[in-house]
Amino acid sequence: MATAPKKSAAAQAVSAAAPVEAVAAPINAVMPTAPQVAVPVEEIQQSFRSALEKSVVESRAAFAKAKTAADEAASAFEVCFAAAKDGALAVNAKTFEALRVNADANFDFLKSVFAAKSLSDVIALQTEFARKQVETMTSQTKDIGALTQKAMADAVEPIKEQVAKSFKIAV
pLDDT band of 85, cuts 50, 70, 90: very high
The residue among 84, 68, 64, 63 whose CA lies nearest residue 159 is: 84
Can you give the pLDDT at residue 134? 96
Q: pTM, whole model, 2 decimals?
A: 0.59
Boundaries of every domain in the chain: 67-165
pLDDT digits (tens, 9 = 90+) for 107-158: 999 999 999 999 999 999 999 999 999 999 999 999 999 999 999 999 999 8
162: closest CA among 84, 73, 78, 75?
A: 73
